[in-house]
Amino acid sequence: MAYLYRTADWSSSNSTSCVMSMWVKLANPQSTQMGFFLGWGDANNYGTMYLNNDDHIYYKEKNGGTQYEEQIDARKFRDHNAWYHFFLQWDYTQATASNRLKIYVNNELMTWSNSGNSLPPQNYSTRLKKNDFRIGTYTHAGSSYSDWKGLMSHVHFIDDASYDTYTPSTFGSTDSTTGEWKINTSPTISDYGSQGFFILKDNNSGTDQSGKGNNFSTNGTITKTEDNPSNVFATLNPLHYSLNTSRAFSNGNTYVALGGTARVPEVSTIGMTSGKFYAEMKDISGSGGGSIMGITGQMRRASAVDYLGSKIYDYAYYSASGDKINDANETSFGNSYTDGDIIGVAVDLDNLKIYFSKNGTWQNSGDPTSGSTGTGAAFTLAAPSSTIDGAYFFACSDDNQYAERRMAWNFGNGYFQTTAVSSAGTNASNIGIFEYDVPTGYTALSTKGLNE
């Protein structure tokens, strides 16, 4: 259970209008519900927005025995790689129902599934403005809560802001090259109002940056990450089809607990076609078998026994023996690894080489900076364009379809689960934070890293 909370005093605020802007990244689709925010009075008086287990987003206010609830648009929100920008504008003085609460996603005005007929009436006092104000949770009864499982950044709340005082363009703009909606990290806000705030600007703190001093306390553990709306980092991909039927993702999809009767690889959200990239994986205790990590250019779904290393476009390093594996051929390579060891992988797609390290030591006397020479490389890779997927993805699996291994990845976010790297290594690209030194010329797999 982790969320931010404060006791708000709305005595000097109006009860009908406000604005909220937040950037979020989804995670963990196995959650039943995840809350964006909550203003809580009691079980009969509250306002909230949440992602339901049907992948739709709902806004709800409850006033005594009367409940107002609307589904936001007909679409499903399932992109676990990109950041979404949500802009919400309340003004219950508006005569037109759909204008009383307007919600934009990435600058696109959402429609209501019921044409706004379930929105509160004109001049209604919003139940969002309650003393128990929380970011990152949802409840309908006040006894059990559904906390946000993904990432949040740059959360603004402007108290008493009336209709169209602020728009999505206050907080973002369209990139002239890509056409994508991008963040404005320093929006101009004339006055946040008495209960307004700006939190989660550059870290995991609830310290208010608006100048109003409306700070939030933390319930549970909130972990900082380098992943942000300006630079999207790779994570494991929970939407990738898998026969690992009881697998479970957490920590922003950087940790996976494998399970079920399969050993097919789990893969990263971002692929690699050129350049040089570095990532780290920490082997975590689990039952049975061993861990395998590396890259794949051949995702599959046909067989429960297709472990990482079993296919021609798999290039992997095996914990139990320290061997390297490709196309089901296991060859002597380096040292075995076990629970708590950190494995680094350097992928050089300019020279088609891959290198593996154990706790900072490159195996087979490897030198990832050796270029075309490929000193100590584990493999010479097939060109990405010739693979089944046309790109390589970081990947991991267990070696036994009945094993239940645990793997924590650091794609540059600076953490293994909720534990920060102990002594960050050097990184000339300045993209991402890793436990060990990033080889010169390599970078994290992220949107900025792809453009290095």
CATH code of 287's domain = 2.60.120.920
Q: Is residue 120 part of a domain?
A: yes
Residues 204 and 275 in one domain: no
Q: Is residue 240 part of a domain?
A: no
Residues 293 and 428 in one domain: yes
**CA–CA dist 160, 16 (Å, integer):** 8
The pLDDT score that the predictor gives to residue 303 is 62
Residues 132 and 31 in one domain: yes
Rounded (5°) CA angle 350-353-356:
130
The pLDDT score that the predictor gives to residue 31 is 57
Residues 133 and 215 in one domain: yes
Residues 345 and 421 in one domain: yes
Residues 303 and 431 in one domain: yes
| Dihedral sign of CA atoms 142, 219, 9, 159 in order | negative
The pLDDT score that the predictor gives to residue 419 is 92
Q: Is 381:408 a contact under the CB 8 Å cutoff?
A: no
Q: Is residue 338 part of a domain?
A: yes
The pLDDT profile of the chain, 452 residues, written as one tens digit per residue, is 689 999 999 999 999 999 999 999 998 765 568 999 999 999 999 999 999 988 899 999 999 878 898 898 888 898 889 999 999 999 999 999 889 999 999 999 999 876 556 889 999 999 999 999 999 999 988 888 899 989 999 999 999 998 999 999 999 999 988 899 999 999 999 999 999 999 999 888 899 999 999 999 999 989 999 999 999 999 999 888 776 667 788 889 999 988 776 678 899 999 999 999 999 999 987 777 889 999 999 987 666 678 899 999 999 999 999 999 999 999 999 999 999 999 999 999 999 999 999 999 999 999 999 999 999 999 999 999 999 999 999 999 888 776 778 899 999 999 999 999 998 889 989 999 999 999 999 999 999 999 87
| Dihedral sign of CA atoms 96, 97, 102, 103 in order | negative
Q: Is 308:316 a contact under the CB 8 Å cutoff?
A: yes
Residues 192 and 43 in one domain: yes
Residues 277 and 421 in one domain: yes
The pLDDT score that the predictor gives to residue 114 is 66
Domain count, the chain: 2
Q: Is 58:49 a contact under the CB 8 Å cutoff?
A: yes
Residues 173 and 81 in one domain: yes
Residues 213 and 316 in one domain: no
Which residues are within 8 A (CB) of 393 and not within 5 positions of it... i.e. 6 or more apart? 267, 268, 270, 271, 272, 295, 296, 297, 299
Q: Is residue 243 part of a domain?
A: no
**CA–CA dist 377, 345 (Å, integer):** 11
> The domain that contains 160 carries what CATH number?
2.60.120.200
Strands 57-63 and 415-416: unpaired
- SS3 for 157-209, per residue? EEECCCCCCCCHHHCEEECCCCCCEEECCCCCCCCCCCCCEEECCCCCCCCCC
CA distances (Å), origin 48, targets 40, 130, 338, 389:
8, 11, 44, 41
Q: Is 427:433 a contact under the CB 8 Å cutoff?
A: yes
Residues 186 and 282 in one domain: no
Distance of CA 244 to the CA centre of its chain: 21
Q: Is residue 404 part of a domain?
A: yes
The range of the structural domain enclosing residue 165 comes to: 3-219
Mapped onto helix, strand or coil, the DSSP state of residue 444 is: coil
Q: Is residue 224 part of a domain?
A: no
| CA nearest neighbour of 273 among 386, 371, 187, 173 | 386
**CA–CA dist 356, 376 (Å, integer):** 9
Residues 256 and 356 in one domain: yes
Q: Is residue 229 part of a domain?
A: no
Q: Is residue 232 part of a domain?
A: no
The pLDDT score that the predictor gives to residue 413 is 94
Whether the pTM exceeds 0.85: the reply is yes
The pLDDT score that the predictor gives to residue 301 is 67
